[in-house]
Structure 1
Amino acid sequence: MLAVVSWQVAVDGPLLALDTAVRDGVWRTRHAIGSPLLNHLGVALSDLGGGLVAVPVLLACAGPAAWLARRGGRPRWWVPVPVAAAAAVLVPLLVVPAKVWFARPGPYGDPLAADQWGWYPSGHTATASIAYGTAALLLARVLPAAAGRWLGAAAALLCLGVGAGLVWSDFHWLLDVVASWCLAGLLLLGLHRLLPRLLPDRDAGSGRDAGSSPSGS
Structure 2
Amino acid sequence: MAAEGPLRRLDERAGRAIAGSRLPGPAAEFFADLGNMPVAVPVLAAAVAFTALRALRAGAFRWWLAPLAAVVAMAAVPLLVIPLKLAVDRAGPPGADGSGYYPSGHTATATVAYGAAALLLLPLLSAGARRTLVTGCALVNAGVGLGLVRSGYHWPLDVAASWCLCGILLWGLTACQARYGRGQDPERRSTPVEGGATDRTGYRPK
Q: TM-score, normalised by structure 1?
A: 0.80
Is the counterpart of residue 12 in structure 1 residue 15 in structure 2?
A: no
Q: What SS does the corresponding residue of 1:11 show, helix, strand or coil?
A: coil
The correspondence of residues 66-215 of structure 1 with structure 2, limited to 5 A, is 66-108=52-94, 112=98, 118-203=100-185, 215=206
Matched with 1:6 is: none
State the shift of 1:85 in Å.
2.2
State the shift of 1:130 in Å.
0.7
Q: Which runs of 5+ in 1 are unaligned?
A: 1-8
Q: What SS does the corresponding residue of 1:58 show, helix, strand or coil?
A: helix
Note the alpha carbon deviations across 1:81-129, whole angstroms, 9 max, x for none.
32232122111111011101111000117673xxxx5000000001100
d(CA) in 1 for partners of 2:96, 2:145? 21
Is the counterpart of residue 62 in structure 1 residue 69 in structure 2?
A: no
Task: Tell which deviates more after alignment, 191-200 or 165-174.
Answer: 191-200
Cα RMSD after superposing both structures: 2.6
Q: What SS does the corresponding residue of 1:77 show, helix, strand or coil?
A: coil
d(CA) in 2 for partners of 1:27, 1:44? 15
Percent sequence identity is 45
d(CA) in 2 for partners of 1:121, 1:191? 21
State the shift of 1:78 in Å.
2.4
d(CA) in 2 for partners of 1:178, 1:184? 10
Q: What SS does the corresponding residue of 1:69 show, helix, strand or coil?
A: helix
1:24 corresponds, among 13, 16, 20, to 16
Q: Cα 1:60–1:17, aligned 2, differ >3 Å: closer, same or farther?
A: same
Note the alpha carbon deviations across 1:114-170, whole angstroms, 9 max, x for none.
xxx500000000110011000100111333343233222211111111001001111
Matched with 2:193 is: none
Q: What SS does the corresponding residue of 1:15 show, helix, strand or coil?
A: helix
Q: Cα 1:81–1:214, aligned 2, differ >3 Å: closer, same or farther?
A: closer
2:28 corresponds, among 23, 36, 42, to 42
d(CA) in 2 for partners of 1:168, 1:23? 8
d(CA) in 1 for partners of 2:170, 2:149? 23
The number of aligned residues is 196
- Structure 2 counterpart of 1:201, which letter? G
- For the 8 Å contact 1:72–1:202, the answer to whether it is kept is no
- For the 8 Å contact 2:19–2:149, the answer to whether it is kept is no
State the shift of 1:185 in Å.
1.3
Q: Which runs of 5+ in 2 are unaligned?
A: 190-198
d(CA) in 1 for partners of 2:104, 2:54? 33
- For the 8 Å contact 1:42–1:166, the answer to whether it is kept is yes
